[in-house]
Amino acid sequence: MPPRILPEPTPETQHFWDGTRNGELLLQRCKETGEAYFPPRPFAPKTGSRNVEVFKASGRATLHSYVINHRPRPDMGTEPYAIAVVQLEEGPRMMTNIVGCPQTPEALVLDMPLEVVFEKMSDTITLPFFQPAKG
Amino acid sequence: MKQKSVAVVGAAETTKMGKIPDVSVIGLHADAALNAMADAGLKPTDIDGVACAGISPVELAQYLGITPTYADGTSVGGCSFMLHVRHAAVAINEGLCTTVLITHGESGRSRVGAGGFGRAPSSLMGQFEMPYGVTAPPTMFTIPVLRYMKTYGVTEEDLANVAVIQREWAAKNPRASYKDPISVDDVLNSDMIAWPFRKLMCCLVTDGGGALILTSAERAKDFPQKPVYVLGTGESVETPMVSQMEDFTSSKAFRVSGKKAFDEAGISHADVDHLMIYDAFAHLPLYGLEDLGFCKPGEAKHFINERNTAIGGKLPLNTNGGGLSYMHSGMYGMYALQESVRQMRGIAPAQVDGAKISVCHGVGGMFAASGTVIFSNEA
């Protein structure tokens, strides 16, 4: 199996990947409007303000939409698997995989509560996945 | 742009379509360009504006022996050609050039002289989408759809029916890749690609190309073909990552582009005789009908199921068979434009009798971009 395709952080996103390595889901928000955003960038979209801060997200989310991929992707090798977009409690959405449950339409119900988990993929990259909420 | 100030005077697809293992990407651009020039009675030295996506306009101009005073390399995916038409109209009106050649060529199936797929791992898509197992458009363009289905009670049968009706149109088109009738059951029993999407809900992967030539409406009268006037245009872009689309049930780029085009054209929806909506996947005509304002949110499935877009319906849609059955080399927008031009010239294989206004709506990337062109065949 070829090595898993992994992100290459840039200076603007490094904090996010440092965060996942430390078991934290880090988002950013505009200090003027308080609005959280994703993916990372050193300014707030729409307002254009550079007055932003990084903060730790709760890790709580809901399942917004997904597909269950049956096509081969050699570095994954686990087809069929769900590719999901989750709605984070803080507002932004992000793509991820849903782990800890069957990859079926019956198990993956839209709007189900989820929580973040972290999986180390290499020395530098830990990916954030989501699992059905236990609480 | 000014209504009807420019017109399409040359339009053609590649000589062959479907599987063309003996022609490279730039060769497909050139073949389509030569066919369009023959259609317009022009030669390369008559062209002074070039536009293309996939390859650079520099490559196109040098390959054909054109010395342009206008070059447009806008490349926002499959609707790039709608944007090229829009930009060409402004360029011609402003006197930047007189005659613009727009080309598309793609070796989608045979991959002759074609680049690879994939994004740099440092791009935003490379960092925040690729790691989760997306492969190609079938696993990305489809991601918003479950949300749309839940919101409006749309079923897998509804999606399948889009493909069924488009196959009915394709049956009338000798150049369509697939012409045999299919049923909803056939679609729902075809191979699983990315649930809820089956193979027959996904576009073809073919080789081919097309080209358009535009000039001023004033000059257009002197060309051999019936001029097809540009009545209104729109464009917009939203996001390079489908996961960051603002609303999973509606495309902002569609809404912005469509409204702009209708405003420019000064027409209402009731004036539209023929409609093309870029259908890389079966959900796109549903989103398109709603985001362009032909249907209220959630009502497109009824509109299609009641056969309004089918043969004999009040709004003939994707009359060439669409990307699902006609052809789809990767950037399908050019073929949608070609069908609109054929309908306006009155020479389409499934001609809509008396059609005077055609709306051609494109998508680029995975809901990344959009372009809309409204044509009229009346000066």
Q: What are phi and psi of B256, to 5 degrees?
A: -70, -45
Can you name the residues that pair with A60 across neighbouring β-strands? Answer: A115
- Tokens, residue B93: 């009106």
Q: What is the pLDDT of residue A78?
A: 86
Confidence of residue A2 (pLDDT cuts 50, 70, 90): confident
Q: Are B138 and B281 in contact (CB under 8 A)?
A: yes
What is the DSSP track for B135-153? -SHHHHTTTTHHHHHHHHT
Q: What is the bridge-based pairing of β-strands B49-52 and B99-107? A: parallel
**Lateral strand order in the sheet of A52-56:** A36-37, A26-30, A52-56
**pLDDT tens per residue, range A9-59:** 999 999 999 999 999 999 999 999 999 999 999 999 988 899 999 999 999
- Mark out the alpha helices in B95-134 (DSSP H runs): 124-128
Q: What is the pLDDT of residue B254?
A: 98
Q: Determine which of A46, A69, A86, A110 to mutate to test the interface with B (most B C-beta atoms within 10 Å).
A: A69
Asked if the Cβ–Cβ distance from B138 to A71 is below 8 Å, we say yes
Flag whether pLDDT at A71 surpasses 60: yes
Q: What is the pLDDT of residue B229?
A: 98
Q: Determine which of A70, A99, A103 to mutate to test the interface with B (most B C-beta atoms within 10 Å).
A: A70
Measure CB to CB from residue A95 to each of B128, B135, B146 and give the nearest one.
B128
Asked if the Cβ–Cβ distance from A95 to B243 is below 8 Å, we say yes
> pTM score, two decimals?
0.95
Asked if the Cβ–Cβ distance from A66 to B192 is below 8 Å, we say no
**pLDDT tens per residue, range B6-32:** 999 999 999 999 999 999 999 999 999
- Tokens, residue B57: 């306009």
Q: What is the pLDDT of residue B266?
A: 97
Q: Are B209 and B32 in contact (CB under 8 A)?
A: yes
A32 CA: distance to closest CA in chain B (Å): 22
Interface A-B, measured as beta-carbon pairs within 8 A, has a size of: 109
Averaged pLDDT for residues A63-82: 93
- Tokens, residue A44: 């707030």
> How many residues does this entry show for chain A?
135
A83, A39, B116, B338: CA torsion to nearest 10:
90
B28 CA: distance to closest CA in chain A (Å): 29
Ranges in chain B, pLDDT < 50? none
Q: What is the pLDDT of residue B120?
A: 83
